[in-house]
Amino acid sequence: MLASLMPLAHGQETQRDNAANMTASPQWQKILSDARGETVYFYAWGGSKPVNDYLRWAAKEIASRYKVRLRHVKVADISEAVSRLKAESGKQSAIDLLWINGENFSFLKQQELLLGNLWSSIPNSAMLAVQALSLQNDFGVPIDGFEVPWGVGQFNMIANPNIFNLNIAGKVNDSKITPTIILKAAQQYPNRISYPRPPEFHGTTFLKQLLVGLSHNDKRLFEYATPEAQAKLLPLLWDYLDQLHPLIWQQGRAFPSSNTEQLSLLQQNKLDMAVSFNPNQLIKEQQEKRLPPSAQRFHFAQGAITNSHNLAIPKGAQSPAGAKVVINFLLSEDAQKQKLNGSWGDPTVITPLLDPASTLPSQQELHSSWQQVIEEQWQQKYGA
């Protein structure tokens, strides 16, 4: 559990002091000066109203405080921006800032398309809860200062509790499920379960959670996906989905396009479950009266797949100073509080605001190489 890894209070003050010292340095003051008047084009997922609302708030704050204009360029999948950077390799880019993780980060780092030394040049990076949240790696790939975490996702499911026939003790953290429980629920309640269509990342993560459970947390999932490991482990997932798909919504012939659409189907009582990467989403939905008080949060018995989502600056960015100022603000206590307590509810990554009591038991993210093979083989088997 993350609670056992919480830094001591004096460590929080040391982190704040380190951030303050970096802020006062001549190097950071020059970055602030260079950034004034710049426009930062931030390529980020645009499929969530709470996220979009938060970025609008952040843009106003950044403009007021630093005279930097933040423009949210909404993309359906960040791979669109990655493809653009690949095509622009070695040239100046229209992209100043990226919201990435996983295989996209792995590719960009390998191709040397990202600006480095971000942690050492951005003051508020000193407040990152590096040890408590295991922020050194991204899907098994060392971050090495080429991106900066700004939030944490933990995979969970929001559902009408009766569908899983569990004895719920009253605390949302106590509700654990397994692939067997999901299959039994689909048998008892046909057409009421689904998941987003891969490669949408919520849908892919659902498949990864199933594979972790079906393989009993096989250690090969956290290493490079060799052909031998694929041949041994992936049939467990495909055999399971062959049983599950005829029982789910649309008999597995169609899938929600995103977790947003799946949540809408849950709200309309067309489905009994939706998936999420935000452990606070259920509370936010209930506060806004979009879900009934009876709705429950569930996580897989091995733990919720947990990873950070990160910010990176392309090497060819036209406004790198402005991008650093944006990252620094998004890591500030003001911005992290707003992200946590506002409509988004995204968990914090900085030590001063970390509350281990609100986190789910964590499951290590799979090595990034598994992402591509799962998505490609799923498409071959079920995507037609």
Q: Is 267 exposed, middle or buried (0-12, 13-18, 19+ CB in 10 A)?
A: middle
CATH architecture of 2-146+308-356: 3-Layer(aba) Sandwich (3.40)
Q: Provide the mean pLDDT of the chain.
A: 91
- The CA distances from residue 126 to 64, 97, 314, in Å, are 24, 20, 22
Is 207:374 a contact under the CB 8 Å cutoff? yes
Residue range 251-263, pLDDT digits in tens: 999 999 999 999 9
- The CA distances from residue 309 to 121, 129, 206, 241, 347, in Å, are 19, 14, 17, 28, 11
- Give the residue-averaged pLDDT of 238-251: 98
pLDDT at 353 over 50: yes
pLDDT at 349 over 80: yes
pLDDT at 173 over 70: no
CATH architecture of 156-303+365-382: 3-Layer(aba) Sandwich (3.40)
pLDDT at 375 over 60: yes
In the chain, residues under CATH classification 3.40.190.10 are: 2-146+308-356, 156-303+365-382
Output phi, psi for 75, to 5 deg: -125, 150
pLDDT of residue 171: 43
Residue range 128-150, pLDDT digits in tens: 999 888 899 998 889 999 999 99
- Give the residue-averaged pLDDT of 349-378: 89
Taking each continuous run of H as one helix and of E as one strand, the counts in the chain are 14, 12
- Give the residue-averaged pLDDT of 93-103: 94
